[in-house]
Amino acid sequence: MDAEAVSVVVAGLGVSGAAAARALARRGERVIVLEAVDGERQRAAAADLDALGVEVRFGEPALPEDASLVVTSPGWRPGHPLLVAAEKAGAEVIGEVELAWRLRGEHAAPWLALTGTNGKTTAVRMLASILTAAGHRALAVGNVGMPIVEAVDGPYDVLAVELSSFQLHWSSSLAPLAGAVLNVAPDHIDWHGSMEEYAAAKARVFAAAGTVVFNADDAWSSRLAEPYASRVGFTLAVPRPGQLGIVEDLLVDRAFVADPARSAEELASLEDVRPFAPHNVANALAAAALARAHGVPPEAVRRGLREFTPDPHRIAHVATVGEIDYVDDSKATNPHAAAASLAAYPSIVWIAGGQLKGADVNDLVRQAAPRLRGAVLLGADRELIRQALARHAANVPVVDVPGQDTGVMDRVVAEAARLASPGDTVLLAPAGASLDMYAGYGARGEAFARAVHRLAAR
């Protein structure tokens, strides 16, 4: 940023917007925050910023005439009138991530960045655990944890950076030491306009990365990596030279070794990946590849994976009741995530439903059908899932649980228990968002866990 004070507009007073405003004000910029919602939380944030000389304007204020830069919150769509007005006025529009990149000091910590439709938070936390195990002062930031703009001046050796497609859309000059795309499946198409635009946003993590890390088992990730010579793949199969992958029960590296054509290095075992599931192994391989790009030794990969603690509601075992396992993957809020969860278990009573956001579940149901022993449906779009089950899994018993009252999840779990047999897994992997019934996927998962524990207490 230029030392001379200029008028910078921060669009939105959320976590990233407030962090951006603080960072800019502390560097002597004249900052104005525009916030549409005039609520108690927003007023408290405005009071904190006022002490730094930051003005907050509520309602639908117009773009200040002297604005030269607009830092937008990641969720604001490109067609928002304020952002359109900024572009017409010749003001540059960037996001908090791009701002953080530009504010880095001369000796700033390198970034190891990753994105993907699913698995981002798990992979970035695995990465931070591996880096810490290697003795680095590391922190997971970005779309998880601390805003990056607050971390760039911190006492860190390396940053593990999770990036959403929204954040990447508003970033133009990022050059991480290594960047990874875990997977790409239809999501947020309403925001980006098309699948191609969504994928193009994800690809920005590759644009100036020192090492490009891609999922060799994912068509989109592989395609986005094709233009880059410095690419490293990861796969759940036996790796080729230049890849990380699986040999028997071992995670092995044939990329960051002296002779990739003739040698491999053991990094960890499948038992070190917890909770174990194929998609979690892929997350571990991606994290390992990014860490290896930073020079982390193999033993730190193993130790970091063993010490990693998963976030809640991600294929979390809740209880075993009557030889039936109950698993909470409420974070599976789209069909791609639910497919990964369903692939992890051989015999499933599936709890599904919620807000599909226009997503098609036919492929999901077709692929999962051989594993399904029953399905219990709840939420706004359960009828669409029921129709897909009728088309592709006609022999699977289906129970529809209507309503939005607090007892719905108890009825759902009771019906799932009735359909299940010893050795089955009752799996909450909804394939839809939760806001039709709950405050978020966490609240949905907690309701499921409480219902399971009440079932066990009977």
pLDDT, tens digit (0-9, with 9 covering 90-100), for 31-61: 999 999 999 999 999 999 999 999 999 998 8
The CATH homologous superfamily of the domain defined by 7-100 = NAD(P)-binding Rossmann-like Domain (3.40.50.720)
* 116 annotated as a binding-site residue: yes
The CATH class of 316-457 is alpha beta
pLDDT of residue 189: 84
* 122 annotated as a binding-site residue: yes
Question: Is the model's pLDDT at 431 over the cut of 70?
Answer: yes
pLDDT band at 406 (very low <50, low <70, confident <90, very high): confident
Question: Is the model's pLDDT at 292 over the cut of 90?
Answer: yes
* 309 annotated as a binding-site residue: no
Model's pTM, two decimal places? 0.88
Proportion of the chain above pLDDT 70, given as a percent: 99
pLDDT of residue 2: 46
CATH number of the domain located at residue range(s) 104-307 in this protein: 3.40.1190.10
Overall average pLDDT of the 351-374 stretch: 96
Question: Is the model's pLDDT at 362 over the cut of 60?
Answer: yes
Q: Is the pLDDT higher at 377 or at 6? A: 377
Going from N- to C-terminal start, the domains of the chain cover: 7-100, 104-307, 316-457
Overall average pLDDT of the 256-282 stretch: 96
- Adjacent-strand bridge partners of 325: 320, 425
Overall average pLDDT of the 62-90 stretch: 92
Q: pLDDT tens digits, residue range 186-218?
A: 888 888 989 999 999 999 999 999 999 999 999
pLDDT of residue 107: 87
* 320 annotated as a binding-site residue: no
Buried/exposed code over 97-130 (b: 16+ C-beta within 10 A; e: otherwise) = bbbbbebbeeebbbbbbbbbbbbbbbbbbbbbbb
Start-end of H helices in 343-381: 362-368
- Please enumerate in sequence order all residues whose Cβ is within 8 A of that of 39, keeping only pairs 6 or more positions apart, or say none: none
DSSP, collapsed to helix, strand or coil, labels residue 112 as: strand
pLDDT of residue 5: 47
N-term to C-term CA, the chain: 63
* 280 annotated as a binding-site residue: no
- Please enumerate in sequence order all residues whose Cβ is within 8 A of that of 115, keeping only pairs 6 or more positions apart, or say none: 162, 163, 164, 165, 168, 179, 180, 181, 182, 202, 205
* 119 annotated as a binding-site residue: yes
pLDDT of residue 275: 87
DSSP for residue 239? P
Overall average pLDDT of the 424-452 stretch: 97
Overall average pLDDT of the 90-111 stretch: 95
Mean pLDDT of the chain: 95
The answer to whether 396 and 373 have CB atoms below 8 angstroms apart is: yes
pLDDT of residue 145: 81
Proportion of the chain above pLDDT 90, given as a percent: 90
Q: pLDDT tens digits, residue range 313-349?
A: 999 999 999 999 999 999 999 999 999 999 999 999 9
Relative orientation angle of helices 15-26 and 40-50, to the nearest 10 degrees:
10
